[in-house]
Amino acid sequence: MSSLPALNALNFFIADVRDGLGPFLGVFLQQQGWSPASIGIAMSLGGAAGMAAATPIGLLVDSTRHKRALLAIACVLIVLACAVNYLAPVFAITVAAQMIAGVAAAAVAPCIAALTLGLVRQQGYARQLGRNEAFNHAGNATAAALAGLLGWQFGLVAVFVLMAGMAIAAVIAVALIRPRDIDHAAARGATAGAQAEPILPTLLGSRPLLLVAGTVALFHMANAAMLPLLGQAMVARGTGMDPAAYTAATVILAQATMIPMALLAAWLAVRRGYGLVFILALVALPIRGLIAGSVDHPLALIPVQVLDGVGAGLLGVAVPGIVARILDGSGHATAGLAAVMTLQGIGASLSSTIGGVVAQQAGYGAAFLVLAGIALAALALWLAGGTVLRSAAGQPATP
C-alpha cells in the first residue's frame, strides 16, 4: 500500500492542529478577565516566535531524516501548549505556551512539504500539492463546523478535546507513512549523493526566489486583514446579522472554495505552469478588496469570500511548487520555502495594522481600497519579474 493515503489523512487531520485553539483561545481568555491588549500581546508573541523559527526549522527539516518524528513532536507540543493555556491562564505562562506552540506550528508546513516532495519527487509534486491543500481545507471546514457545534453544546473544553483527537489522528497518519517510501535527497531538492549548495548565496542570490517572496509578502499584506475587517464593518454598519454566524459563514465559504481551487491549481500547473496560477490568484485579490470596499450589503460576503478562496486556494499550491522548482538541485528546498513563509508572515502581521489604522482614520471602505492597492502592487511586482520568473513559473510542471 502506498504512503499517499496516509499523507492525505495527515493533511486532513493536521488542519485543526496547526493553529491550536485559534480564535477560541481569545474568547476563553476574555472570559478569564483578560484585556484585549493582553490577549493581542500573547498571540502576537506566539506568532513572532513562529516567524523567527521558520527558516532555522526549514534548515533542520532539510538536514534530518527524521521528518516524521519532527512532525509528530510538533503536534504533541501544540496540544500540550493549548492544555497549559486552558489549565493555567496566567499571562507569563500563556505567553510561554503560545511561543512554544508558535515554534511547533512553524514546523508543520515545512515537514509536510518535505515529506510530499520525498514521496512523489518533482514529477508528482504539483498534483500532490493540490490533493494536500484540498484535504487540508476539507479538514479546516470540518473542524470549524464541529468546533462550533461542540463548543455551543459543551463549552470550550470540547473544542480542546476535538483538537487533541485530531492531533492523535494526525500522529497516527504520520506513523503510517513508510520511511522506505521517502527519498530524502528529493525531499530537500537535491540530487542523490550531491552536496548541498551554500545556504545564504542560494537563497539571497536567487532573483526568482526573492521575487516570489516579495510577491507573496505583498499578497498577504493585502489579504490577511480583509476577513476581520469585513466582520467589523458589517457590525459597524448595523446590518442586524449575528456576528458569530456571519464570521462562521465567511470561513465556510472561503474554505469550500479553496478545495476546488487547489485541485484546479494543480491541474493548471501540470499543463500550463505556475505562472498562470499566480496571475489568477493575484488578480482575484484586488477585485475582492474593491467589492468589499464599495458594496455594503451583507450579501457582499458571497463574492468577497469566494474570491478569498480563489486566491488562497491557488497560492497554497503555487508557492511551495514554484519554490521547489526554483531550488531544485540546491539541497535547500524546504529552507527556501520556510524563508518565503517568514516573509509571508511578516506581510500578514502588517496587514492588520495597516487595515486597522486606515479604517479608524478614514473608514472601512477606504481600508479595503488601500488593501486592494497593495494587492495591485503584488500583481505589478509579479508581472515586472516576468522574464526572471518565466523559466521557473512559465513552463508546465513535469507530468
Q: Is 159 left (phi over 0), alpha (psi -120 to 50) or beta?
A: alpha
Distance from C-alpha of 152 to C-alpha of 370, rounded to nearest angstrom: 37
Q: How confident is the model at residue 358 (pLDDT cuts 50, 70, 90)?
A: confident
Give per-residue pLDDT as tens, 51-101: 999 999 999 999 999 999 999 999 999 989 988 888 888 899 999 999 999
Higher pLDDT, residue 56 or 162: 56
Which candidate, 277, 264, 263, places its Cα nearest to that of 315? 277
Quote the pLDDT of residue 317.
94
Alpha-carbon gap, residue 3 to 174, rounded angstroms: 9
Q: How many CB atoms lie within 10 A of CB 241?
A: 16
Q: Is the pLDDT of residue 399 over 50?
A: no
Q: Where do we find the cell 479546516?
A: 140
* pLDDT tens per residue, range 192-205: 666 667 788 888 88
Residue with cell 510561554: 96
pLDDT per residue over 270-324, tens digit each? 998 899 999 999 999 999 999 888 877 767 678 888 898 999 899 999 999 999 9
Band (pLDDT 50/70/90 cuts) for residue 268 is very high
SS3 355: helix
DSSP assignment of 234-302 equals HHHTT----HHHHHHHHHHHHHHHHHHHHHHHHHHHHHH-HHHHHHHHHHHHHHHHHHHHH--SGGGHH
- Three-state secondary-structure class, residue 67: helix
Grid cell at residue 170:
494526525
